[in-house]
Structure 1
Amino acid sequence: GRERPSYSADPNLWFHGGASFPSGEVTEATSFVTPFIAEYQHDHPWVWALAAIPAYDAEARMKTWGHWQTDVLAGAALGTAIGIWAHDRKQPLILSWLPGGFMVGYAHAF
């Protein structure tokens, strides 16, 4: 954890109870659009326009002093890795542990 820019002007305040690093919002947005881009990039090159969603989110998080630049870059890198992993996994049954329970799902390609 690192302090958010709205709480401190020092980006080097690590491990002081902050919740800035990495940006969860950018991670979520990037991990959502990456599988679509990976799947349809060859047939529909315009799908790369979806990358504007996490880029806009990253810019907004920095302009509102919610995150440092390295926070959103780390979130984008983490989201890209999760999105590629989700796209390439071949197991159809999904079982994930969540903080308040678990999630069960089934993935199928049409």
Structure 2
Amino acid sequence: MRLQDARQPVLSLESRFDLAYNAAHAAALSALRAHGYRSENRYLVFQCLEHTLGFTPQQWLLLDQAHKKRNLAEYEGELDVTTSFVDELIDQVDVLIAAARGITPAGPS
């Protein structure tokens, strides 16, 4: 639902970015948890995508970059995103969600 909303051009660019970023984080966190891991650090869920979903560095680095932009906005009040960056992020989150839906949760050890 968040990703659907992020595609709405009537929303501000900042809102679209926030919705796409949060959808990405939720999907990446679910992939991490499906493999039996937890993290208290938001950025690790993206850096672990290479291991949890087989993402290439090019795929997860865009999400990591979005995380850095989110932190600047959250802690410094500076959000520097372009329409093309948000559109690319939305496309990558589509791939992430599809990949996360295809994993089988790890059973108890």
State TM-score, norm by structure 2: 0.29
| Structure holding more helix per residue | 2
State TM-score, norm by structure 1: 0.29
| Structure holding more strand per residue | 1
Between structure 1 and structure 2, the one with the greater Rg is 1
